[in-house]
Structure 1
């Protein structure tokens, strides 16, 4: 049996381009889209404007924290999505 504590990744950090760090508690089964929603709650940035980077690669919304082997203390990097057009 897996306890809830085993599923929780405490003190996950998201660093913005300005260097500000946001601490989030996320669970292994959280999808990247859910992590973006948590960032929106703290920073007010809509998920569609967010790109999360881990290990130099952009994270995909439909994958989970476990899919990326995230562990407590990891830092994700938040960049804003650029919109195309003139």
Structure 2
């Protein structure tokens, strides 16, 4: 069945998917067309993020359905830092 994936820029990508395809496979098809690695993709349908291990049919997609693609920006471990739970203020 043909479905559409809409990017944040409004571009629509048409994909041919099977009901038994995992969402992971749908992301691979997006990568083939757009060059975006699956690990950086988040597919949204009906306001909910689609899980990689679920099947297309689990979401009851119909031909012509539109998924929304958002990019997941990963934070490198070196950019993560801890903060103290105690706030300190300089004397006024």
Deviation at 1:84, TM superposition (A): 2.2
The two structures have a TM-score, normalised by structure 1, of 0.86
Runs of 4 or more consecutive aligned structure 1 residues displaced over 4 Å after TM superposition: none
Gaps of 5+ in 1: 1-8
Once the two structures are superposed, residues 10-67 of structure 1 have per-residue CA deviations (whole angstroms, 9 ceiling, x without a partner) of 2x00000000000000000000000000000000000000000000000000000000
Residue 56 of structure 1 corresponds to 47
CA–CA distance in structure 2, aligned partners of residues 82 and 50 of structure 1: 9
1:13 paired with 2:4, answer yes
Q: Give 3-state SS (helix, strand or coil) of 1:71's partner.
A: coil
CA–CA distance in structure 1, aligned partners of residues 38 and 75 of structure 2: 17
Gaps of 5+ in 2: 80-92
1:73 paired with 2:64, answer yes
**How many aligned positions are there?**
77
Deviation at 1:83, TM superposition (A): 1.2
- Match 1:46 to one of 17, 33, 37: 37
Give the strand-richer structure, 1 or 2: 1
